[in-house]
Amino acid sequence: MRYLFEILLFCLVACSFTTPSATSASDISETLSCDNDRLTDFNKLLILAPHPDDEVLGFAGLADAFINQGKEVETWIVTDGDGYCDACVLWNGGSMKGATCDALTLSNLATPEVDSFAETRRLESSNAALALGRPAPGFLGYPDTGIAAAWSNLQAGNAQNALRRSDFSMCTDCNSCGEGYGGGPETDLSAASLKQVLSRLLAETDKRTLIATTHPLDSHGDHGGLGKLVMELAREMEDLRTIAYSVIHAHTSNGAAFPDCWYPQPAAAECPCYFEDRADADPEWLLAQREQRLKPDWPQHLPGDADYGEPLYLCLREELYGGAEPLKLAAINEYSSQMGTAGRHEGLLPDARSGLTDCNGYLLSFVRRNEVFVLRTTR
């Protein structure tokens, strides 16, 4: 019965989409524009990413284009990305059936050692920057889910309310642990402090700086919240500011279990797919699951489930997406905690389970020959 359900799910996810990105690569390749001149017609690039890895998934090519023109690129990551329950379970115990992570395991920031999930994620972003041959990003240190909470607090007039980190220790498994997200210890951070630090970063720019961040319609609360907040703060400035929005998570699930199951195309064969026993029994299954979405020669398009705006396409250097060792893939592979390719300690994660967290190949699907953006200029 389980396999019948999986077949039905596959058909639902893979066979029913009518979005532009469902078109075959050969059909699109002749009409895909390269709007590089328009996207790089600025003196500087400021990237504001919600979590470690977003700065590469959405903006690696854009940063590369600016750097190759001798222009300054500044990157800041707002949260530590520590609130990913399933990924921390696998990273911490080598099994998806292990104990959920407590607050200290997720974000022990008080010691000099890199011994927590949050610190690991920061290190992964620094290593990804090294793989791309660029300086490490800066980290603002906000808790995962904190941007969404900050935006909600601002709308409710509670800008001074303390933001909380995550703690999943009260839950027996991740599926039943909604309260663990942002339900841990209070921080000394708030919506007011987030507005202050983002305002300072924006104040250091001028109208010849392109500000790159995530789209307000992105379905992840932190992504959408950051896009809205950046636009709001930019509108308060005296001079015009131009924002390049990237969609990392589609606006809707579009008939699938999650937006990440179908966008970017092609859709995942099975999603969700944390089938540890199946991976242990057949190592070839997990590899095939992940790599069927690795399509570096395919173009990237906006998802077709919402009106995101007019798309502009940045065509990447071949070294970033093509050949045997594309640089963007090398950078994405540095996010081992998100890929599920490394444990907290060496030898902890069995080889058969390597890649289990990204079993649907979602991260790999961002290795494409272009990146797509929506430009908005403040009035």
pTM for the full predicted model: 0.92
User: In this structure, are residues 293 and 332 in contact, taking their beta carbons and an 8 Å threshold?
Assistant: no
pLDDT confidence of 283, banded at 50, 70, 90? confident
pLDDT confidence of 341, banded at 50, 70, 90? very high
- How far is the C-alpha of 43 from the C-alpha of 28, rounded, in Å? 31
Query: What is the rounded average pLDDT of the residues 99-115?
Result: 94
Residue 21: give the domain boundaries: 2-377
User: In this structure, are residues 13 and 262 in contact, taking their beta carbons and an 8 Å threshold?
Assistant: yes
SS3 (DSSP) at 329: helix
- Res 328 pLDDT > 50: yes
Assign residue 26 the CATH number of its domain: 3.40.50.10320
Element (H, E) at 163: strand 162-164
| Residue 31: predicted pLDDT | 60
Query: What is the rounded average pLDDT of the residues 162-167?
Result: 98
- Res 1 pLDDT > 50: no
- How far is the C-alpha of 335 from the C-alpha of 80, rounded, in Å? 13
- Res 15 pLDDT > 50: no
Query: What is the rounded average pLDDT of the residues 44-58?
Result: 98
User: In this structure, are residues 288 and 359 in contact, taking their beta carbons and an 8 Å threshold?
Assistant: no
- Res 13 pLDDT > 90: no
- Res 12 pLDDT > 80: no
Query: What is the rounded average pLDDT of the residues 239-261?
Result: 97
| Residue 32: predicted pLDDT | 76
Look over the chain and give the mean of its residue pLDDT values, rounded to a whole number.
92
Question: DSSP string spanning 182-203?
Answer: T-S-EEEEEHHHHHHHHHHHHH
Q: What is the total count of domains within the chain?
A: 1
Strands 72-79 and 44-49: parallel
User: In this structure, are residues 356 and 96 in contact, taking their beta carbons and an 8 Å threshold?
Assistant: yes
- Res 25 pLDDT > 90: no
- Res 84 pLDDT > 70: yes
Tokens encoding 367: 């290795």
Query: What is the rounded average pLDDT of the residues 140-152?
Result: 98
| Residue 14: predicted pLDDT | 36
**Cβ-Cβ contacts under 8 Å for 130 (sequence gap 6 or more):** 136
Distance from first CA to last CA of the chain, Å, rounded? 56
Q: Residue 212: beta bridge partners?
A: 47, 244
User: In this structure, are residues 215 and 179 in contact, taking their beta carbons and an 8 Å threshold?
Assistant: no
